[in-house]
Amino acid sequence: MAARNQAARPPRAPRPVDAAITRLLTLAGRGAAPGRMAREVDAIAEEWLRVPNLDRMEIRDRLDELHDQFAGGIGHAEEQVSDLDSTEAAALKQGRAMLAALVAARDATARALAALQSDIIAIS
């Protein structure tokens, strides 16, 4: 009976940071330009700011985690690109584009964090 009750439950929504990462990686995988990645990070931060009763410190924590995830991903992507054979022009081009997209997302997240932090300080 307990198994049946668990099966009837709808799946949990992903954590907001996980959903944001998926959203951004999907864009990067489609070859989004760095500017587009930055705008998407800004949109995500704005969406989080509009959530009623969501503490700004929680938003800061989300942005901080997002930044850390992209910073780590950049290191991995750099290794992957450096391991590519220079004769694989298409793979190099795609790898470099993905790396540029990840760097743009990381940098945009850092800017959003800085803006939020200055806003938090101004409110205090």
> Would you list the DSSP string of 2-44?
HHHHHHHSPPPPPPHHHHHHHHHHHHHHTT--HHHHHHHHHHH
pLDDT computed for residue 10 by the predictor: 81
Confidence bin at 12 (pLDDT 50/70/90): confident
Are the beta carbons of 108 and 37 closer than 8 angstroms? yes
Residue 121 pLDDT: 65
The tokens describing 53, both together, are: 């009763």
Give mean pLDDT, residues 23-28.
95
Task: State the Cα torsion 100-106-107-109 to the nearest 10°.
Answer: 140
Per-residue pLDDT reduced to its tens digit, 59-98: 999 999 999 999 999 999 899 889 988 888 898 899 999 9
Q: How far apart are CA 15 and CA 20, in angstroms?
A: 9
pLDDT top residue among 87 and 113? 113
With 0-12 / 13-18 / 19 or more C-beta atoms within 10 angstroms meaning exposed / middle / buried, residue 45 is buried
Per-residue pLDDT band at 42 (split at 50, 70, 90): very high
